[in-house]
Amino acid sequence: MAKKSTKSVFTCQACGYQTPKWMGKCLECGKWDTLVEETVRAPDRGGRIMSLPGEDAARPVAIDSVETIGEERIFTGISEFDRVLGGGVVMGSMVLIGGDPGIGKSTLMLQALYGLSRENRRVLYVSGEESVRQLSMRSRRIGTDSDCLMVVSEIDLESILAMVAELKPSVLVVDSIQTMFNSDLTSAPGSVSQVREATLRLMLMAKKTGLPVFIIGHVTKEGAIAGPRLLEHMVDTVLYFEGDRNYIYRVLRAVKNRFGSTNEIGVFEMTETGLGEIVNPSAVFLTERSDNTAGSIVTCAMEGTRPILVEMQALTSSTSFGTPRRTILGLDHNRVALLAAVMEKKLGMHLIGHDIFMNVAGGVKVDEPAADLGIVAAVASSFLDRPVHAHTVILGEVGLTGEIRGVSQIDARVAESKKMGFTRCILPQSSLEQSRTDSRMTLLGVSSVDEAMEVMF
Ligand code: TYD
Ligand code: MG
């Protein structure tokens, strides 16, 4: 039984499905011509990922007898980054950072590593994409030179693991997982098997030695991290670095986090000298807003624990063809269609004969029912060609019968609005009753869309 066997499998490069026989179409995801032959040597390590070196196979223990040392964390010093991680880097954790090419993943990780290398911690940056010279040129430019930050250009997984064993860094970054190569497999770097194997081997090491590992992953055109979904299941934390390359703003978003809340975001701006933190995103997203314009309103969205004010814009114009168009950026298309139907029915606005275009300024995405009333207000304001009162923030979820439902964390939202110089807030009646009243802010509670229309203009 101890004999090592070599076998050949066909792996779908789109979804990771494996079959012993070649097929033109993947049975799992239905894509054509994605199966590639790979030779695999059966791995000789058992399922002992979690046991420590020198220990035999793991044995069940009573949960209350486990000695917890408390989650040990170290900090990058970039507060936006630390917060998204759930309060610093957890020892032995494995973090996947995904994002489009050129968005700034390598820059972000270089800066984070530099932060971690303070206090004389030795850290290692492995790049399979750039030469050491390129890395050092970039590092000079963004001011992350340090004698504790080691860089190497390498794609061979065995050599990297050997390097780590010798150097014993406190943190490891692998840029990118798609360039890693394991000679046990015949397929090319970037193929599903290579990516999966590299991730597994690195994770094994992270869990055994307590070394935090960051892996950078490319994102496919469809927006998923290239390689199997499995990758996302394997790691502890998945962060996406996103943003429109036409804007300088970048958002780091936690999609999965075993050590903290998802929904947390960190906001950065790309400058000539690397990424800068944006501590007050509301101010940034509202800078170019002009008061008293029809179709523009401000709402307050919660991103994790943090309230952010955003401007939503709507434009309505009469339909020139039969079916009205709904072109929506940054908001849920179905949500807008649903709210347009409520407005048609409850407010008697003839939107069926109008195209609706909506946008959230600054390339931000808002995905929260609390923005409903804001959407209604923006569309109504453009439709009626009447600006909403100046310095007003609009909050509330809208139901199908036109009722306004309460929103969460009302005090945080009102406080942020006040901080940004707003003086009026239209909010659900039920939330008003829950909130601690604030004398310097006019709070207008409404319980239906008709009522909201009355106080809006
Ligand atoms: P990079 O970190 O290489 O992106 P990724 O690793 O995600 O592919 O960053 C690429 C872009 O960032 C590049 O087009 C130039 C820009 N950039 C700056 O504007 N300022 C800087 O200081 C740096 C380092 C990059
Ligand atoms: Mg890069």
Global pTM value: 0.76
Q: Where are the domains of the chain?
A: 6-41, 74-279, 284-456
- Tokens 């409850």 identify what position? 346
Evaluate whether the domain defined by 284-456 bears CATH number 3.40.50.2300.
Answer: no
* Pairing mode of beta strands 89-90, 94-99: unpaired
Please count the CA atoms within 13 angstroms of the CA of 143 that sit on its side-chain side: 6
Q: Which residues surround ligand 2, an ion (CB under 5 A)?
A: 106
Measured on CA atoms in the order 367, 369, 375, 377, is the torsion positive or negative?
negative
Distance (Å) from CA 281 to ligand 1 centroid: 21
CB of 236 closer than 8 Å to CB of 258: yes
Residue 131 has pLDDT above 70, yes or no: yes
Sorting pLDDT into bands at 50, 70 and 90, what band is 282?
confident
Q: In the structure, which protein residues have their CB atom closer than 6 angstroms to any atom of ligand 1?
A: 99, 101-107, 138, 141-142, 270, 272-274
- What is the distance between the alpha carbons of residues 383 and 386, in angstroms, rounded to a whole number? 8
Distance (Å) from CA 93 to ligand 1 centroid: 26
- Nearest ligand, CA 105: 1
Distance (Å) from CA 218 to ligand 2 centroid: 9
Residue 408's CB is within 10 A of a number of other CB atoms, namely: 13
Distance (Å) from CA 167 to ligand 2 centroid: 23
Residue 227 has pLDDT above 70, yes or no: no
Per residue in 398-452, pLDDT (tens digit) is: 999 999 999 999 988 998 888 888 899 999 999 998 887 666 789 999 999 999 9
- What is the distance between the alpha carbons of residues 443 and 227, in angstroms, rounded to a whole number? 50
Q: Which of 174, 250, 270 to mutate to test the pocket of ligand 1 (most atoms within 8 A of CB)?
A: 270
Sorting pLDDT into bands at 50, 70 and 90, what band is 2?
very low
Nearest atom (ligand 1) to Cα of 270:
19
Measured on CA atoms in the order 430, 431, 437, 441, is the torsion positive or negative?
negative
* Pairing mode of beta strands 123-127, 149-153: parallel
- CATH of range 74-279; options 2.40.50.180, 3.30.360.10, 3.40.640.10, 3.40.50.300: 3.40.50.300
Q: Position 441: which residue type? A: M
Sorting pLDDT into bands at 50, 70 and 90, what band is 57?
low
- What is the distance between the alpha carbons of residues 121 and 169, in angstroms, rounded to a whole number? 8
pLDDT score of 232: 83
Nearest atom (ligand 1) to Cα of 142:
22
Per residue in 334-349, pLDDT (tens digit) is: 999 999 999 999 999 9
CB of 205 closer than 8 Å to CB of 215: no
Distance (Å) from CA 246 to ligand 2 centroid: 18
- What is the distance between the alpha carbons of residues 428 and 394, in angstroms, rounded to a whole number? 9
- CA 406-409-414 angle, to 5 degrees, is 95
